[in-house]
Structure 1
Amino acid sequence: MNTDPKAPERLYELVYRVLRDHLEADELPEGLVLLEGPIAEFFGTSRAPVQKALQMLNEEQRILRFEGRGYVVSKTGGNTVPIRMDIRQSGLTLPGDIDEAMKSRSSWQRIYGRIEREVATAAAFGRYRIHEARLASLFQVSRTVARDVLGRLHERGLVQKSSSSRWIAGPLTAAAMKEMYEIRKLLEPAALASAAPHLDRAVLTNMRDHMLTLELDHTNLTPELLHQFDRFLHVECLMKIDNKRMTSIIRQNQLPLATAQTFQQYLGLADESATLSEHRLVLELLIKESVDAAAAALVAHLESAQKRTLARLKVFSVVPAPQFSPFLVKTR
């Protein structure tokens, strides 16, 4: 979980805390079936943070896997009779401080994607200062929400704090990119090996099949799908490990993932057959439980990705900068 006392709690941490507190206080009935969908609707969030929170509670044996879908509340760990009821009538409530925090997180989630794309794009064109007040005004959110967004961008290595405590994006240089790839080649294969036992083979197989289909026919291949594949392999799979310091460092070196979409937007969608093939090979080996081979394949993929990225960065240097939103101010 988040170990930085100054950082805002992540959504899954908020969901986990509420459910844990209710379980510890015996406020949820024995046998209550907990499903991701209804809980996500109750919290006003997506299923992903709920899934993570339920997995954590299951690992702590606060809830048990249910023979059907989801989990079941069981204080005894024995044969509990499942109770299916509306989660809103189960005794689950949302404390005031959590309610406000959830609203804040929902606000930053709503605007995060657009801001991330624009910041990553700007970084490729030079050094930009991020004007926090303008960002908040432009997206009609509070300064607190704006800071939440910037904090998330900082976690992923997309922005930095200057010596005068101003938020800065870029410049994206070849030297910086090489450093990030060196870190990724050291950490990501080790993280993948640690995460392998926790990966769902059905999910891996579905993603592998999707990649194979697009390899054979690129007609439906889009930058968004490529980004989805990147995030699945380099983020979702790797975040399954328990070493939170390692996951934090991995997240801080994800600028190459964010800038890949920028390159595709301004340089066009190049032949991505190699990228798809490299991703698919890693998944194939994970499905076969050849973990060491999968880690080695990931190293090979990152080495190839580094070469492709540096080549695109060189071409990108002659592309004129577009007009960015007013919250991005070009600096020297």
Structure 2
Amino acid sequence: MVISETQKIEKHTPEKRMPLFEVASNFIRNNIELGHLYPGLVLQEGALADRLDMSRATIKRALEIIETETLIERFAGRGFLVSGGDTSPKRANLREITLVHSNAQEESGKPSWLRVYDDVAFHVTRSPVFGRCRIFETLMAEEYHVSRTIVRDVLARLQERGLVQKNRTSRWVVEPLSSKKIRDKYELRKILEVAALASSKLPHRHLQDLAQEIGALPRGEPITSEKWTAIDKQFFDMVILSTSNEDLATVASNNKLALEACQSALFSLGLPPDTQSIMELGHVIELALSGSTSTASDMLAQHLEKACNRTIAQLKITAIIAPPTDFPSYLQFSQS
């Protein structure tokens, strides 16, 4: 039996659940396409949150995603309505009108801890960029309409991944992502990812396509954060996660998680993607495809060292910027 290159990638890529904000995005997008959410209809966060049994923070993130697709637009600076045709604001009870739930209904039927885990993880992983914060169990339980037992279960699972900690007074906290922590994580990336590259079964055809995509990028011109993130993910999935050592792939993925969240948070502040970083990945791919694994490994190590320095330089900017206002109330930033 011949295993395709795509199957090889999927085999070594850790299974990921769809984040709740993506489930909410699909739900809203689908109902706009079906006409159930019609032009001009005001999309109230609270009503959609109740309809999907999700937090308002999750719905807000979903609406912001769909806004970039021009399916909805802001009005009066304080909300969203469906684009197209007559966009004069129209209000209806979103808790009662006919809407198709599809996979959103399945997602809401997950066990309680699983239903909120992805949303909590999303906020927790991007908060260290803005400093130390404390997690309040009671407020989290109220946010997601679950018991504190469920909240503790979620936090314990995040603790296992090193994303949250308990301090000496048994309070849940998220420690800030300092320059030292970033350097430590990149140092670990060099160890793990260089080792993964050496043992990878590279999907040559797909990597050639990615190399061509990178080569076609306009030199000296910025790229979008979405394009940067997509290329970076494809490289990681095909070059690092195609290692035959599944434990190595898992550890490498977990180590990169906080850095991915850091980059996403920096993009959200308006910091531009670094095109040079993507070009460096292109060089690694070219060397790997030519069979020069040792030289490709050296190039990857150099790329990670440069990426580390760039990230630290960008992180310094956040010291003078207040955290975004869309963090849920159960995450509260402090100086101590």
TM-score, normalised to structure 2's length? 0.58
1:295 aligns with 2:316: no
Q: Is the Cα contact below 8 Å between 1:127 and 1:170 reproduced in 2?
A: yes
1:118 aligns with 2:123: yes
Amino acid at match of 1:52: K
Match of 1:209 among 196, 212, 220: 212
1:120 positional shift: 3.2
C-alpha offsets along residues 256-281 of structure 1, whole Å, 9 cap, x if unaligned?
222112112214215x2211111111
Change (3 A) 1:105 1:185: farther
What is aligned with 2:330? 327
Taking the aligned partners of 2:12 and 2:249, their CA distance within structure 1 comes to 17
What is aligned with 2:253? 251
Q: Kindly, what percent of the aligned residue pairs are identical? A: 30
1:329 positional shift: 2.3
Amino acid at match of 1:202: R
C-alpha offsets along residues 187-232 of structure 1, whole Å, 9 cap, x if unaligned?
211111111xx2211221222222222344857x321222222233
Over aligned residue pairs, what C-alpha RMSD do you find?
4.1
1:252 positional shift: 3.4
* 1:180-259 equivalence runs, <5 A: 180-195=185-200, 198-216=201-219, 218=221, 221-235=223-237, 237-254=239-256, 255-259=258-262
1:269 aligns with 2:228: no
Taking the aligned partners of 1:280 and 1:105, their CA distance within structure 2 comes to 42
Amino acid at match of 1:123: P
Amino acid at match of 2:185: M
Taking the aligned partners of 2:160 and 2:147, their CA distance within structure 1 comes to 20
Change (3 A) 1:50 1:250: closer
Amino acid at match of 2:232: D
Taking the aligned partners of 1:54 and 1:244, their CA distance within structure 2 comes to 9
Taking the aligned partners of 2:323 and 2:13, their CA distance within structure 1 comes to 45
1:309 positional shift: 0.8
Amino acid at match of 1:269: P
Q: Is the Cα contact below 8 Å between 2:266 and 2:314 reproduced in 1?
A: yes
C-alpha offsets along residues 23-49 of structure 1, whole Å, 9 cap, x if unaligned?
xxxxxxxx9xx99xxxxxxxxxxx999
Change (3 A) 1:184 1:330: same
Amino acid at match of 1:168: V
Change (3 A) 1:205 1:328: same
C-alpha offsets along residues 121-172 of structure 1, whole Å, 9 cap, x if unaligned?
3211111223456446535678788678657755665434445665432311
Q: Is the Cα contact below 8 Å between 2:202 and 2:238 reproduced in 1?
A: no
Q: Gaps spanning 5+ residues in structure 2: where?
A: 15-105
* 1:75-224 equivalence runs, <5 A: 104=110, 108=114, 112=118, 115-132=120-137, 134-135=139-140, 137-139=142-144, 157-163=162-168, 166-195=171-200, 198-216=201-219, 218=221, 221-224=223-226
Taking the aligned partners of 1:276 and 1:118, their CA distance within structure 2 comes to 26
How many aligned residue pairs are there?
A: 240
Partner SS state of residue 237, structure 1: helix
Larger RCO: 1 or 2 (CA < 8 Å, sep 6+): 2
1:118 positional shift: 2.8
Partner SS state of residue 240, structure 1: coil
1:310 aligns with 2:312: yes
Taking the aligned partners of 1:54 and 1:176, their CA distance within structure 2 comes to 26
Taking the aligned partners of 1:151 and 1:309, their CA distance within structure 2 comes to 29
Q: Is the Cα contact below 8 Å between 2:113 and 2:153 reproduced in 1?
A: no
What is aligned with 2:51? none
Q: Is the Cα contact below 8 Å between 1:135 and 1:146 reproduced in 2?
A: yes
Change (3 A) 1:117 1:242: same
Amino acid at match of 2:206: V
Taking the aligned partners of 2:308 and 2:224, their CA distance within structure 1 comes to 21
Q: Which sits farther off after the overlay, 165-174 or 314-323?
A: 165-174
Q: Is the Cα contact below 8 Å between 1:154 and 1:160 reproduced in 2?
A: yes
TM-score, normalised to structure 1's length? 0.59
